[in-house]
Structure 1
Amino acid sequence: MPAHSDHRWFTSAEEAATGASSFERCLNGLWKFHYARNPSSTPAGFESSAYDTSGWDDIPVPAHIQLQGYDRPQYANVQYPWDGHETLEVGEAPSLFNPVGSYVTTVVVDEAPAEGERLSISFKGAESGIAVWLNGTFIGYGEDTFTPSEFDITDAVVVGENKLAAQVFKWTSASWMEDQDFYRFSGIFRDVMLYRRPRAHLEHLEVSVDLPDPLDRATVSVATELVGDGSVTATLVGVGPLSEVDGVLTVEVDQPRLWSAEDPYLYDLVLEVREADGAVTEVVPQRVGIRRFGIEDGLLRINGKRIVFTGVNRHEFGLQGRVMSREQTEADIQLIKANGLNSVRTSHYPNNSFFYELCDEYGLYVIDEMNLETHAMWDKVAHGVVDVEEALPGDRPEWLEPLLDRAVSMVRRDRNHPSIVIWSCGNESFGGTNILEVSNYFRSVDNRPVHYEGVHWDPRYPETTDMVSTMYTPADDIEAFLKTNRDKPYVLCEFAHAMGNSFGAVDKYLDLAYREPLFQGGFIWDFADQAIALKDRYGRDYFGYGGDCGEAPHDSEFCGNGILFADHTPTPRMQEVKYLYQGFATRINADSVTITNRMLFTDTSAYDAVATLTREGVAVASAGLETAVAPGETETYPLPLSIPQEPGEYAIEVSYRLREATRWAPAGHEVGWEQVAVAVPGVVAPAALPAPEVVDGIHNIGVRGAHFEALFSRLYGGLVSYRYGFTPDGGHELLKSMPMPNFWHAPTSNEKGWGAPFLDGDWLLASRYARPLRDPKNPVVTRLDDSVVLTFAYELPTRPVSGCEIAYRVFGDGRVEVTVKVRPGDGLGDLPEYGMLFSIDADYKALRWYGEGPDECYVDRRGGARLGVYSADVNDMLTPYLRPQESGSRTGVRWAEVTDSGGAGIRFECPGGMEFSALPWSPFEIENAPHAIDLPPVQRTWIRPALMRRGVAGDDSWGAETHPEYRLPATGELVFTFSFVGIR
């Protein structure tokens, strides 16, 4: 059946109010199921009423067959899933292995359709091709996957039990257009609905809004397509009835309340369909958002205001794959709103209709993207393997009709949603005349702007897209481009590739978006990790990625790009997302607060602003701050609290909170904030302590005081024992191994992507195999009035050899000040990190620190971290990325304590701030584990104070290096000083 709008119809207004329509029935549930590995192995004649399927398996609908024990999930990014298994021409479906699911269910029809009535069955999503029979009669076939395939069954239905049979093919000719970066599944994965259409039926409706300047009067128009003999009337609730003008129903709205992401107000439109005799056959409710979106004066504007997209790309994906319920989707949208995002791109296919309904209601700007991606073929053209004439769909005439069919299906279903502000022609499919025709179709039927990124790679038809769109372009390159190219607004349809421990230096994009009018933001890749819930051979749960289900080809953990984990809980990256995407830019001085309101329609007086003063995590003072900054304006207010004169470090914070509860967050929910640290000079001199006792032995040097003993080994070249708090058995030994200089961490996904491990290998060797200088004067012992200093020199096995020194200055109270110096050999690259590696017993697992947090943060991802005192369990500090990697560190740490259940342990200090990590595993153990469950049993707590770790980066994950300012110098001497002391 032709595509139509996604409206629902009811027998009456009273029935519409219940939300349950007697015109529809959901056919979800357990269906009988047969699995075949290819079309030639399917059961012949199974669709016949006489064929007995009682012995078949049961399968839930909706579901992916690969998550029900058949076939296997396959994650592939660019690669076609059959690549290397069969030689196929473009458009051919695999024949040797192409799983087919045969489905059967019983549909009971209590009474025959009356004259003029029609019955249909709609499969909202079947991947990727579906053939349908009823009572043995072939009904039809469809293969769009992500928009409904609806079939008229009126002529085949009987009163009583009807046998509904379907075959779903994993791969079809259309699969060449569905090479998205996602798990490859098949089956009926969205709802199946049975519909009854009365004699007079509203088949399709199109809502249009004309909102000219000065936006104080709007015209709402409704075009209708009626099936049968009848008429349509409509009323806009609270405004009045619509009048018919040239076959279109219209009404004028004075002083309309405009829809936006900040105020998603929806009007209720009620349409009534009547037969020729005036009897009402159906009532159709339709939500209407009055808003204007388009390119005006060269910029993308919503209701006349320039927009900055603070967006994310979102696959429909959860723990059941692409089977997503309305409730799961609503939870996603609530989380999106609560963290300051204003827009979503449906990567890379149309979503369930309820997604758009929820975006209408909650307020999100949506790029609705057509089901198109031919990335593997794009690769061949872009890399010169084939000529541009072989691009898919390119200029090939045989592909135009299926492309336009997908475009029509998306637009006709979705066009009435005000949340949709841009149509997208698809993703990563190069260019050509076919995609140009799709964009022209969009413009011919609707006034929304059209997006397509592929023009960047195939510039022959720039008119395909109304905006410049690229992926993963560095902010500096965007700014340089816009110096000379100012004919279109610029949007990043994908940026900040959040793979593994990532999302570094994203602030540069937001700074540019609020500085350069033509750059209008972008969409993070992506929303949630795509992963499969699996069990290992010992029954332990874990999230699997590409290859873990035995599939090939695959693209490993490249599916782990989410700002949410696979279970849709936030990753530490969300801390930064929320900070950067907030609607406020705040500058705090010692006596004033300057606020820039980045929102478009909301005054800051709509929020409670609270200023708080803390000292080492303890609130000293708090006061409300009354603000009234108009949208787009900047105002300065006196700081409503004063900084004490008592010496110390203070943090001043201004927080913006919801005055009232919303659908997406309770009252008091924080929507924005800023913090600044202020130091009040003046230091209280510590009491003078006697120097510790030095025991100069043959192979060891002991340094001891009233409550501690440190033992340094001449033989092994370092600190081999540190006991604190004397007991009858000699005190608590805090060290499990000799602290050593450390220049390594488990490579992040981004570091692997740009080849850092290959370049950094010298520093791995240096961290594992440093050798004390073979010199009888090593260590050098220097006695001072209040302390003793032992300085050890090392050779590092880099090529060329690097030098390193560690000086331990031991005071009488047991405090040890450590100074690490390293002199990299000429020509070596920058260090992954620079610090020390300690190991202590695993019983010491209570971590408390004064520094930035609460979540993981790094030098290029610390904007969203706040200075405070935080506590955590060391066993929870390794962030559960799909593949273990460097994670769990904190920046700006002034002090940190790692203690046991009795409060005894060790304290590290660095008044100027250091990076600090305490984990249950060493960097080397973490690097060796493909999954968290592969990490060894916990035996120790590994502590890594560091001057700095290389920033996590994130412009992309396949070549973009960490920005230079977030890397350690590659030349000259590096010096890092911190201290530690036992606590009891």
Structure 2
Amino acid sequence: MTNNTKVTPSLDWLSDTSVFAVNRAAAHSDHLYYETMEQAELRGEMPWRHSLNGQWKFHYAKNPAARPAIFYEQGFDCSSWDSITVPAHIQLEGHGTPQYVNTMYPWDGVHDIRPPEVPMEDNPVGSYVTQFTVPKHMEDMPLFISFQGVESAFYVWLNGHFVGYSEDSFTPAAFDLTDYLQPGDNKLAVEVYQRSTGSWLEDQDFWRFSGIFRDVYLYTTPEIHVFDLAVQARLDDTYSKGSLKAAMQFQEALPAAAKITGSLHDKNGRLVQEAEGLFSEQTAVVPFDIDKPNLWSAEDPYLYSLYLQIYNEEGQLVEVVPQQVGFRRFEMIDKVMCLNGERVVFKGVNRHEFNARTGRVVSEADMLWDIKTMKQHNINAVRTSHYPNQTRWYELCDMYGLYVIDEMNLETHGSWQKLGEVEPSWNIPGNLPEWQDIVMDRAISMLERDKNHPSILIWSCGNESYAGEVIVQVANYFRQKDPSRLVHYEGVFHAREYDEASDMESRMYAKAANIITYLENDPEKPFILCEYMHAMNNSLGGMDKYTELENKYPMYQGGFIWDYIDQALVKKDRFGKEFLAYGGDFHDRPTDYIFCTDGLVFADRKLSPKMQEVKYLYQNIKLDVTDKEIKVRNENLFVDTSAYQLVWTLRRDGIVVYEESVQQQVPAGEEAAYSITIPQSLLAEAGVFTIDASMQLAASTAWAEAGFEVAFGQYVWEKQLAAPKASGILRVVEGDVNIGVHGRDFAVQFSKTAGSLTSLRYDGKEMIEIPPYPTFWRASTDNDNGYQQSYTAGVWLAASIARKCTDVALHADEKQVDVTFTYTFAIAEKVTVQTIYSVFPDGKVRVKAVYHGAANLPDLPTFALSLKTSADYSNLEWFAKGPEENYEDRSRGARLCRFQNTVVTNGTAYARPQESGTRTGVRWLTLTNEQGSGIQLQAADAPITCNASPYTALEIEQANHAYELPPVHYTVLTVAGKQMGVGGDDSWGAPVHPEHRLAAAEEQSFVFTINRA
């Protein structure tokens, strides 16, 4: 349904809020349609659709003045132009510069403009040309073209005739080409501008690109065509009776003798019901009433298949429309959001469409990887931050089961927040009537395209655009047009007079304590965190403080982690080696640098260690384990646990000694305890025992194979025997400078001048390259930088490299030799560290480190001992919490286990090098070379915290990219009793929670032993 009018295109449209669509087809549903029932059942490629993806001729200009203005004319020769891939971003095809900015507009500090002005002298233009011939089976039919995504404004010509213009980068734009077609080759010309009025509305936290970045295709329609389909699948108050109405709007008036029928089939293809449509003029409705329909939810995404068949006056089938249907009811009950009558908790993430090589051009393989990864990690909800996604994403969410907040393409962050402060003096859209239509157009385009997807529970009015009447009108449109969903908008937090814009209280990065205050003061709306746990590189500490609210407060209904995937782009360094680049690496200015790398998965779609914590804290099935029973708490709303197998495993020192399956079936919302019996003979030996309970898929699903673990719980206890006394003879040599301790096949040396252990030899092999010294510094994380730890706690960085050994004491007898080093530090007289080395006749060296602190000093990042050994010692085996890295405030998802890696792979490849690879709860750690010789570190009084890295904390501190790190010569072992957590409430000022910090005035100590491996 289009209305082509003859107009002369103008560049003035780029800065005119009243012109955002010229000759563009009205927004409509994204349904498919076919010629036969067989085609519809297969839901394959549409014969009535012809892709124009591929190589187009292309010209790039830095601004409109440099563009080939008449390139669209028939006589203009483009044969010498470069080629460009469609779909693709211009900036990733070798033209112009990718630019990453977060809140500020990309021209900040470059052009002094205010909306709706556009910096025309800095407005890159892409001129695209392709030739096409109308496919034979589409000849003599109306022909349209659809652009699924173009950033940010574009003009279209066919055979020299102007066709139309559109803004809004993330919803489709369709145009009628019929009047401009010619036999044989047709010249299609598209002119794309990076900056337009739309750019003021697209100030999202992402890379700034331009170009045709989603599919382009021709399509035609049969003689009778469903232009728009609205499927309304409703449930009554008992959730046991369903009504389905398929409301259709046709491209033209229906013939009087036309016929419309519908058939509804279950997920196995069996016919459930047939119905005949009622129609008048250009509209029709096919109604169904279903008794006890299977309901759709993320836990059980049951989809029916609806087929609408359209017959012409002669009774011939001319069109079949297949549509997946999910019966579900989403509503507010007693101020709580409920799905099918049950309170829902969103265990969500925010997701940008992103690929490290192609930017926001994402393939179906990317989408499938994303959705399977989410399901495997117990994520049940996604917010399309901050724009409508490709249609296929919603289809996958319908099929696999994810709750969706569908967010319209609106963000004006830079117009009202400057340097973190709210300053809305020139905020848009606000209450400005000239912005109402262009903003509303984006809402309409999203709702009309996406309305038939059961996965979408909530419409979002956009992101970080402050507040005002324009957004309130959008919210009211959503409610009036679609009462089956709720409406979300977070920005009213800053302007409560517009509170009606959101049906829920939505906040970003609210602290858990503030959420509790809200929930305990008789709130009017349920609470969600549309963004929380800013997962920037090594982060996500303290997430449990939020998930603990889920069962305490009915009106707390979860949140959406920021965010799912790092936005880092593949780039080559000066030596031709690829790396993942972030803001500024393309000389893009202004930029927000590293702030684009805050995902749970890396940009190359490899899991980050943070996912270990997410999976555990988001699990719907909780397993409480003792040595007598396993309690299964099923927090699913709709499904029992029969799809899973419960397996418990007894391990001694990390090695399996017994395993058993438990027959279980726990209804949704209930719990049950299952007794377990451990054969007593297995407990005779001493060791650290663990019982791991694992809930595993009994059969393969669309998102994981049989045996995949969805939930776990662990119980740990220890059985100790008296340690045998060390045998052997110690020989002590106290020289003028060195103290030597010698035994059978080992030798230890301490230096009074170096003030440390300087040599440890087992079987003649030296284990100490650089002596151990106290350290108080870890390589800064991005969260550390966010609250300026280097500034507030930098004295500990100095103390880590500048110390004074003030005393060396020796105490020796035939069973034990103790050498004690005392260190003082310039930062405060009272701060001292003692390191006591105790050497035993069997070659073990016990190390005790004691910190005596002082008041009025900042918290310590860590208190540890760090030493270097040869890089030849690179193989690691751990008995620790793992297997992924974990920290004091991010260890709930780790379990005590035995695992192996290497020093090189132990660290995590964050986009900017920083603290990584640490494990808490370490019982022992073995470091060996390829021949199997080396050392073992073993906890003594209590588990310790360890790290093994090719680099020191200071080397990592100085590197902005991995390629800046020095060549590997050493293995750096760092041992601590406790290290400060990594934090994660936000990355711009939120400190680590007090219980996970090290107070400078408190004494700290830890003990471990070193022995040959």
Same fold per TM (> 0.5)?
A: yes
8 Å contact kept, 1:334–1:665: yes
Q: Which is further off, 858-867 or 434-443?
A: 858-867
Q: 1:582 is matched with which residue? A: 619
1:60 aligns with 2:85: yes
1:719 to 733, 757, 765: 757
SS in structure 1 at match of 2:127: strand
Question: Whole-Å Cα distance in 2 between the matches of residues 802 and 110 of structure 1?
Answer: 82
- CA deviations 1:752-782 (Å, max 9, x no partner) are 0011111111111111111111xxxx21111
Q: Aligned equivalents of 1:96 and 1:47: distance in 2?
A: 22
Structure 1 residue 200 corresponds to structure 2 residue 221: no
Asked if the contact 2:870/2:969 (under 8 Å) is kept, the reply is: yes
- Kindly indicate whether residue 270 of structure 2 is the aligned counterpart of residue 233 of structure 1: no
> What is the rounded CA distance, in whole Å, between the counterparts of 1:84 and 1:786 in structure 2?
72
| Number of residue pairs matched by the alignment | 970
Please give the secondary structure, in 2, of the residue aligned with 1:84.
coil
Distance 1:159 1:15 in 2: 29
TM-superposition CA deviations, 1:87-125 (whole Å, max 9, x none): 11211111121111000001102569777x421100000
- Cα distance in 2 for partners of 1:32, 1:606 equals 53
2:993 matched to 1:954?
no
Equivalent-residue separation in structure 1 for 2:535 and 2:391 (angstroms): 27
Residues 572 and 114 of structure 1, relative CA distance in 2, 3 Å threshold: closer
Q: 2:155 aligned to 117, 128, 131, which one?
A: 131
Alignment of 1:738 with 2:771, yes or no, is yes
- Secondary structure of the structure 2 residue equivalent to 1:329: helix
Written as runs of structure 1 = structure 2, the 5 A alignment for 1:581-620 is: 581-620=618-657
Q: Give 2:125's aligned residue.
A: 100
Which amino acid letter does the alignment assign opposite residue 306 of structure 2? L
Which of 177, 183, 191 aligns to 2:207? It is 183
Q: Which residue of 2 aligns with 1:360?
A: 398
- Residue 291 (structure 1) aligns with: 328
1:663 CA drift (Å)? 0.7
User: Which of 198, 202, 216 is the equivalent residue of 2:240?
Assistant: 216
Q: Decide which moves more: 410-419 or 861-870.
A: 861-870
Unaligned runs of 5+ in 2: 1-24, 266-270
Secondary structure at the aligned position of 1:523 is classed as strand
2:458 alignment partner in structure 1: 422
Give 1:527-606 correspondences, 5 Å limit: 527-606=564-643
2:30 corresponding residue in structure 1 = 6
Query: Is the 1:5–1:416 contact (alpha carbons within 8 Å) kept by the matching residues of 2?
Result: yes
Counterpart of 1:468 in structure 2 is 505
Partner residue, 1:433: 469
Residue 190 of structure 1, CA deviation? 0.3
% same residue: 45
Q: Report the alpha carbon displacement of residue 824 of structure 1 after superposing the two structures with TM.
A: 2.4
Please tell me the residue identity of whatever aligns with 2:1009. Answer: S
Structure 1 residues 385, 630: CA separation in 2 closer, same or farther (over 3 Å shift)?
closer
Partner SS for 1:779: strand
Residue number in structure 1 paired with 2:963: 933
Cα distance between partner residues in 1 of 2:838 and 2:778: 27
The one-letter code sitting in structure 2 at the alignment partner of 1:621 is: Y
- Does the C-alpha gap of structure 1 residues 467 and 245 become closer, same or farther in structure 2, counting only changes over 3 Å? farther
C-alpha displacement of 1:188: 0.3
CA distance in 1: counterparts of 2:177 and 2:530, whole angstroms: 41
The aligned amino acid for 2:901 is A
Q: 2:848: which partner in 1?
A: 819
Q: Is the 8 A contact 2:627 2:715 kept in 1?
A: no
In structure 1, what is the Cα distance between the partners aligned to 2:815 and 2:139?
A: 102
Aligned CA RMSD, in angstroms, stands at 1.5
Distance 1:111 1:628 in 2: 58
In structure 2, do the counterparts of structure 1 residues 662 and 428 end up closer, same or farther at CA, with 3 Å as the change threshold?
A: same
Secondary structure, aligned partner of 1:139 = strand
Deviations 1:61-112 (CA, angstroms, capped at 9, x unpaired): 0000111110011111111111111111211111121111000001102569
Distance in 2, Cα, partners of 1:79 & 1:882: 22
Q: Following TM superposition, by how much is the alpha carbon of 1:801 offset from its aligned partner in structure 2, in angstroms?
A: 5.9
Q: Look up the SS of the partner of 2:696 in the other structure.
A: strand
Does the CA-based 8 Å contact 2:201-2:409 persist in structure 1? yes
Deviation at 1:281, TM superposition (A): 2.0
Question: Which residue of structure 2 aligns with residue 665 of structure 1?
Answer: 704
Q: Residues 24-75 of structure 1, C-alpha deviation per residue, up to 9 Å, x if partnerless?
A: 1011000000000011211021001111100000100000011111001111
2:377 corresponds to 1:339? yes
User: What residue identity is the alignment partner of 2:654?
Assistant: G
CA 1:631–1:811: 2 relative to 1, 3 Å: same
Q: Which residue of 2 aligns with 1:696?
A: 734
Give the CA deviation at 1:819: 1.2
2:639 alignment partner, SS class? coil
Q: Which of the residues 7, 10, 16 maps onto 2:40? A: 16
Structure 2 residue 875 is matched with structure 1 residue 846: yes
Displacement of 1:914 in angstroms is 0.5
Which residue matches 2:805?
772
| 1:402 equivalenced with 2:435 (yes/no) | no
Residue in 1 that maps onto 2:19: none
Shift of 1:360: 0.5
- Alignment check: 8 A CA contact 2:728 2:744 kept: no
Match in the other structure for 1:373: 411
Match of 2:111 among 83, 86, 90: 86
Distance 2:172 2:851 in 1: 64
User: Structure 1 residue 329 and structure 2 residue 367: aligned?
Assistant: yes
Q: Distance in 2 between matches of 1:33 and 1:109?
A: 22
Match of 2:319 among 269, 282, 307: 282
Q: Decide whether the 8 Å contact of 2:726 with 2:842 is kept in 1.
A: no
**3-state secondary structure, aligned to 2:389:** coil
- Mapped contact 1:209–1:221 kept (Cα < 8 A): yes
1:756 aligns with 789
> Could you tell me which residue of structure 2 aligns to residue 917 of structure 1?
947
Contact 2:623–2:711 (Cα < 8 Å) also in 1: no
Q: CA deviation at 1:20?
A: 2.4
Bigger mean CA deviation after superposition, 736-745 or 479-488 = 479-488
1:143-154 map, 5 Å: 143-154=167-178
8 Å CA contact retained: 1:824, 1:970: yes
Partner of 1:963: 993
Asked whether the 8 Å contact 2:387–2:407 carries over to 1, the reply is yes
Matches of 1:684 and 1:799, distance apart in 2 = 42
After TM superposition, give the deviation of residue 552 of structure 1 in Å: 0.3
Measure the CA separation in 2 of the matches of 1:35 and 1:103: 9
Return the alpha-carbon distance in structure 1 between the equivalents of residues 827 and 926 of structure 2: 33
Contact 1:229–1:275 under 8 Å retained in 2:
no
What secondary structure does 1:557 align onto? helix
What is the SS of the residue equivalent to 1:460? helix
Q: Return 971-980 or 340-349, whichever deviates more.
A: 971-980
| 2:678 pairs with one of 641, 648, 655 | 641
CA contact (8 A) 1:380 1:386 kept: no
- Residues 946, 114 of structure 1: CA spacing in aligned structure 2 closer, same or farther, 3 A cutoff? closer
**Counterpart mapping for 1:490-501 below 5 A:** 490-501=527-538
Query: 1:242: how far off?
Result: 2.6
Structure 1 663/159 Cα, relative in aligned 2: closer, same or farther at 3 Å? same
Residue in 2 that maps onto 1:836: 865
For the structure 1 residues 629 and 384, does the alpha-carbon distance in structure 2 shift closer, same or farther, using more than 3 Å as the test? closer
Look up the equivalent residue of 1:236 and give its one-letter code.
L
SS at match of 1:478: helix
Deviation at 1:272, TM superposition (A): 1.7
**Alpha-carbon distance in structure 2 between the residues aligned to 1:837 and 1:380:** 42
What's the offset of the Cα at 1:255?
1.5
CA distance in 1, matches of 2:982, 2:526: 30
Structure 1 gaps of 5+ residues are 726-730
1:442 is matched with which residue?
Answer: 478
Q: Where does residue 728 of structure 1 map in the other structure?
A: none
Contact 2:847–2:1009 (CA<8 Å) still a contact in 1? yes
User: Aligned partner of 1:324: which letter?
Assistant: V
Give the Cα separation in 2 of the matches to 1:106 and 1:800: 80
> Matches of 1:7 and 1:792 in 2, distance apart?
75
